[in-house]
Amino acid sequence: MDRKVTITNSQGQKAVADIVKIFRINELNSDYIVYTFNQKDASNNVKDYVSKLRVENGNYYFDTISDDKEWEQVKNVLTKLCKGGE
């Protein structure tokens, strides 16, 4: 992975993550980012994270996806991406 993003958390700590994919869901008029810190879980799978992208004054912010219907649409796109579709 050659695209990286520096993420600053609410405590001001910075971490560099690899960008896996950025995609748009037109029906929601929103962009999403899939990223990883390349950490592995107990099953030895790499953990990925998904956030909604928001732009304010030229800065990018990662918002939590808290709406169940929105999550369903995001999961549907991710499933298609994993199967090789776009």
Counting every residue written for the chain, the total comes to: 86
In a domain, 11, yes or no: yes
- The pTM of this model reads 0.86
d(CA 27, CA 25): 6
> Is residue 85 scored above 80 in pLDDT?
no
* 9-18 mean pLDDT: 93
Q: Based on the structure, what is the number of domains in the chain?
A: 1
Burial category of 35 from C-beta neighbours within 10 Å (exposed 0-12, middle 13-18, buried 19 and up): buried
In a domain, 86, yes or no: no
Burial category of 74 from C-beta neighbours within 10 Å (exposed 0-12, middle 13-18, buried 19 and up): buried
In a domain, 30, yes or no: yes
pLDDT at 28: 94
In a domain, 23, yes or no: yes
Domain coverage including residue 20: 4-79
pLDDT at 86: 58
pLDDT at 81: 87
Mean pLDDT of the chain: 92
Comparing 82 with 21, the larger pLDDT belongs to: 21
Chain Cα centroid distance, residue 79: 14
In a domain, 84, yes or no: no
In a domain, 61, yes or no: yes
